């Protein structure tokens, strides 16, 4: 099967933070290369697939930038080096778990105690995208003029929303919105949330840190992506929107458009029918691992 991926990314320090604690990776695992992302780049997805990942270092904690960089580099290395059968969701799960162990070990060093990061990773392999999440960085899919979030925040406000304590409208302005209940490097093990998405022609994958989602709505993301002449232009516009609205946090976004030998989009087919939840994260709101990002 021939599958093509057009990708672009942008990471910005924002308007307030003194350093960028976000990190990302776009890796062609077949050629073990990372394509340039300062402009929209199109390449063929090889037999070992492509990795897209965003990691948000824990703001205000020691070495958040070190944690996020370590997470994405470990993911890239593990995904490149692992022997595997094709179309195996366990591959990205094992890679995230290894990245957590290495971040946890590094966090035991003086000056790095308490460091941590989120991660949302998408492994494009054939006609599927395998999605892994720890924390509250997000992944969306834009398809047929619609956008849908395909991850679920592992945050305290999401926990309250799920239990009917808080509405989504109130959650958007809650002082607790930056409290996450699980992060990389905060304990020796993590519970990775996993999903499997069946891809369709002209799908666009969106990965981003909360520096974007706290300022730009999903509908605004969709409209910006659909109107932009290129993916790199859409990335730049999204980052600028977040900056114009305060830019208190670092802002990172990856866009990946797929084409090739894929099923056509079917009118009226819900995105949810093409998304399989492989494993969910079970919240533990009283956990001592809850951290403010």
Helix axes 64-81, 90-106, angle to 10 degrees: 140
Q: Which two tokens stand for residue 22?
A: 């976000």
Q: Which of 188, 193, 209, 24 is nearest to 100 (CA)?
A: 188
Question: What pLDDT sits at residue 268?
Answer: 87
Rounded-to-integer distance, Cα 166 and Cα 231, Å: 35
CB 267 within 8 A of CB 7: no
Question: What pLDDT sits at residue 177?
Answer: 80
DSSP conformational letter for 63: T
Classify the phi-psi angles of 201: left when phi > 0, otherwise alpha if psi is within -120 to 50, otherwise beta: beta
| Ordered alpha helix ranges (H), the chain | 64-81, 90-106, 156-162, 168-171, 210-213, 218-227, 231-244
How do the pLDDT tens digits run along the chain, 293 residues long? 799 999 999 999 999 999 999 999 999 999 888 877 778 999 999 999 999 999 999 855 678 999 999 999 999 999 999 887 667 789 999 999 999 999 999 999 887 888 999 999 999 999 999 999 999 999 999 999 999 999 999 999 999 998 899 888 888 778 888 899 999 999 999 999 999 999 999 999 999 999 999 999 999 999 999 999 999 999 999 999 999 999 999 999 999 999 999 999 988 899 999 999 999 998 764 544 555 55
Burial 7-24 (b: 16+ CB within 10 A, else e): bbbbbbbbeebeebbbbb
How does DSSP assign 140-194, residue by residue?
Answer: EEEETTEEEE-S---BHHHHHHHTTSS-HHHHTT-TTTTEES--BTSSS----EE
Question: What pLDDT sits at residue 290?
Answer: 57
Residue given tokens 């939840």 in the structure block: 277
Rounded-to-integer distance, Cα 194 and Cα 174, Å: 27
Rg value, the chain, Cα:
18
Question: What pLDDT sits at residue 237?
Answer: 98
Rounded-to-integer distance, Cα 50 and Cα 31, Å: 10
DSSP conformational letter for 47: T
Q: What is the CATH number of domain 3-292?
A: 3.60.40.10
β-strand partners of 180: 155, 291
Residue given tokens 């990302």 in the structure block: 24
Q: Which two tokens stand for residue 243?
A: 């900056």
- Cβ neighbors of 195 (< 8 A, separation 6 or more) are 130, 131, 150, 151, 275, 276, 277, 278
CB-facing half-sphere around the CA of 53: CA atoms within 13 A: 35
Q: Which of 269, 259, 254 is nearest to 120 (CA)?
A: 254
- pTM for this prediction: 0.94
């Amino acid at each position: 099967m021939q599958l093509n991926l057009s990708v672009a990314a942008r990471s910005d320090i924002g308007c307030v933070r003194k350093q960028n604690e976000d990190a990302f990776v776009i890796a062609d695992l077949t050629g073990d290369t990372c394509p340039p992302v300062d402009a929209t780049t199109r390449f063929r997805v090889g037999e070992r697939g492509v990795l897209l990942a965003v990691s948000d270092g824990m703001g205000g904690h020691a070495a958040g930038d070190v944690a996020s960089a370590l997470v994405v580099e470990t993911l890239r290395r593990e995904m490149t080096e692992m022997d595997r059968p094709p179309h195996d969701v366990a591959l990205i799960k094992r890679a995230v778990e290894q990245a957590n162990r290495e971040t946890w070990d590094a966090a035991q060093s003086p000056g790095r105690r308490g460091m941590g990061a989120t991660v949302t990773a998408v492994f494009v392999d054939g006609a599927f995208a395998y999605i892994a999440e720890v924390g509250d960085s997000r992944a969306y899919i834009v398809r047929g003029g619609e956008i849908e979030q395909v991850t679920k925040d592992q945050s305290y406000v999401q926990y309250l929303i799920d239990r009917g304590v808080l509405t989504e409208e109130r959650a958007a302005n809650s002082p607790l919105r930056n409290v996450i209940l699980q992060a990389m490097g905060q304990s020796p093990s993590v519970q990775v949330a996993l999903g499997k998405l069946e891809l369709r022609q002209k799908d666009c994958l969106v990965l981003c840190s909360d520096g974007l989602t706290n300022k730009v709505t999903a509908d605004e993301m969709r409209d910006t992506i659909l109107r932009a002449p290129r993916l790199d232009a859409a990335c730049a516009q999204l980052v600028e929107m977040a900056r114009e609205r305060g830019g208190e946090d670092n802002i990172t976004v990856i866009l990946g458009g797929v084409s090739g030998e894929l099923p056509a989009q079917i009118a009226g087919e819900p995105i949810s029918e093409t998304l399989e939840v492989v494993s969910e994260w079970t919240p533990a709101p009283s956990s001592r691992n809850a951290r403010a990002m």
